[in-house]
Structure 1
């Protein structure tokens, strides 16, 4: 997260707190609005994040902070989480969302000829 990870983003919460909330949101499959409501009642998570019950960030704040994070933050989290699991040597991951259908059809046509 860099040297400014513990500093509040524009007077709000520290960057690492936003990342934890986004990871929680994605893991549980909540929308931004649902995340705000769920956090109000999850006192254990609020204690870990050192957030008071009435100070839960608004869902619009969460939405904006999600868009502000650079891709390298999410790649670093993916790399760290992937290293925590045993590796079998037979893993493929594609997070580019690049449509490979056209390239695969072209290769298949070329290789058959």
Structure 2
């Protein structure tokens, strides 16, 4: 499990770096805080992958030596859970869409049965409910969940 988790974080960090670099909008807190946006996005991927709260992700990640080295953070240098929660609002949809679309094959994209199969698998893996209350947060959560599912499937191959 630890090796698979680290491989997931490594893939998520790589994807987050690419998507954040391509996005014209800043992900991290405009006041600074010293956390590049790709680190926030990686922690959001990890949160959905592990089905955890923001507080749990910060606690767990701060104890995982290999994850901390990959994110280039000291044990005490992780963002507060509230900072991570607020950063989810600032991540532009282009980052989540790009992460979700990174694995789609253009020839299969228009086939409804493929989409229905993927939705079914995602619901079985992550549950049928979306927890945010605002519609735009729901959409972000759905796209993030699909991106995490795609990363998990890429690691299985």
Q: Report the TM-score, using the length of structure 2 for normalisation.
A: 0.50
The one-character-per-residue Cα deviations of 1:50-92 (angstroms, maximum 9, x if unpaired) are 0011101110000000111122211111011445xxx695411
Aligned length, in residue pairs = 94
Matching of residue 49 in structure 1 with residue 71 in structure 2:
yes
Please name the residue that 2:114 is paired with. Answer: 91
* 1:40 positional shift: 1.6
Larger radius of gyration: 1
More helix by share: 2
Matching of residue 32 in structure 1 with residue 54 in structure 2:
yes
* 1:7 positional shift: 8.0
Distance of 1:81 and 1:5 partners within structure 2: 24
RMSD: 2.9
Q: Which has the higher contact order (CA 8 A, sep 6+)?
A: 2
Distance of 1:26 and 1:40 partners within structure 2: 17
Tell me: CA distance 1:44–1:14, structure 2 relative to 1, closer, same or farther (3 Å): same
Gaps of 5+ in 1: 98-113
Q: Report the TM-score, using the length of structure 1 for normalisation.
A: 0.68
